[in-house]
Amino acid sequence: MILANIDDYRTLARKRLPHFLFEYIDGGAFSETTLRNNQLDMQQIALRQRVLRDISNVSTQISLFGQTFSMPLGLSPVGIAGLNARRGEVQAAQAAEEAGVPFCLSTVSACAIDEVRAGVQNPIWFQLYMIRDRGFLRDMLARAKAAGTNTLLFTVDMPVPATRYRDMRSGLSGGSLLQRKLTRMGQVLTKPHWAWDVGLWGRPHNLGNIAPILGENAGIDEFWSWLGNNFDPTVTWADIDRIRTEWDGNFIIKGILDADDAKQAANIGCDGLIVSNHGGRQLDGALSSIKALPRIADAVGDDLSLILDSGVRSGLDVVRALALGAKMVMIGRPWVYALAARQKRGVQEILEIFAKEMRVAMALSGCARVEDINSGMLENRPI
């Protein structure tokens, strides 16, 4: 199979993963309207084709948060991504480092932050939720600092869990405990390569960062129970402000879609925010991230570094987002599809694809540097 774009890696991931894992990556909340609109709205943004400009030396390099990156793209935190390949988050972090882009580890990763940090040369980014167990939260902040992390992504769009029908049907969250276990076991048996590479040799499967709380033998079902009991619907901006005062590195809020919320993030001294609807996995019917971006850029673009997440599937999408005010984009599903399809090499390949697509889009719209990308290169501007 020739793998030309992200859709091809998605197809291969579907063939190789147990059904419940693929559905967890691929699915969204409720009827998945926002999930679909993230990509559909992105594709409606037209760029002006410009000609006869010197684009012989196109550069995608950027500087952000005190670091230099090969392109304005990073790998988003994705829960249990490490179950899609043997010690998967380690492989993905290595691929990102070699490509010169940031990797952000999820709180609910399969591999603990210490393990991932040991697998790379430089510190990684880390993502954290506000949960009821404040002791665990403080412990994770301390572990992140001990790992050398200087950039913290704080996710704010999950005060309560959304309903995801695909997960209920696949055996990940629906039905009785016995039904779920039997369903998942049956799916694993149909994927012998995954069962050997990840199921057997990819142990432990204990969600490393929360293993100290759940126990070394805890699995997915114990994780769902713990997570459900630890969502905190009481959280407010005051709680985020306190966390900000405890973190002396870069502090980025993830999950903003509203301009007033963006202004509040600026008021508490954030370094950046991620315009995101959680990949269509939380409030179904919310705006696509790309439609929300222009208003937020108008409101706080000079005060905060804006990152776009959700719906990015190509280097062309990266250019679209930058033209609308983002300084960087982050991808979630694309890198996890690639990891499941071809392990570390798959992640390397899709990063190469994004870089090539971005250079072509820049060249054909007359931009030689990322700094040249602006709203003037758009034929239309979503509002």
Instruction: Tell me the catalytic residues.
Output: 278
CA angle 250, 254, 257 (to 5 degrees): 135
Distance between CA atoms of residues 376 and 373, nearest Å? 8
Distance between CA atoms of residues 42 and 23, nearest Å? 23
Q: Residue 123 gets which letter from DSSP?
A: P
142: Cβ–Cβ under 8 A, 6 or more apart, which residues?
none
Cβ proximity of 358 and 319 under 8 Å: yes
CA-wise closest residue to 304 among 263, 353, 335: 263
Q: How many residues does the chain have?
A: 383
In angstroms, how far is CA 237 from the centroid of its own chain? 23
Distance between CA atoms of residues 157 and 232, nearest Å? 11
Distance between CA atoms of residues 311 and 128, nearest Å? 22
Cβ proximity of 72 and 101 under 8 Å: no
- Report the half-sphere exposure of 38 (CA within 13 A, side-chain side): 29
Exposed (0-12), middle (13-18) or buried (19+): which is 112, by Cβ within 10 Å?
buried
Question: What number of other Cβ atoms are within 10 A of residue 263's Cβ?
Answer: 15
CA angle 363, 364, 369 (to 5 degrees): 30
Dihedral (CA of 357, 76, 184, 163) sign: negative
State the DSSP H helix or E strand holding residue 239, giving kind and residue range, or none if neither: helix 237-246
User: What does the block give as tokens for 46?
Assistant: 């037209």
Give the amino acid at 54.
D
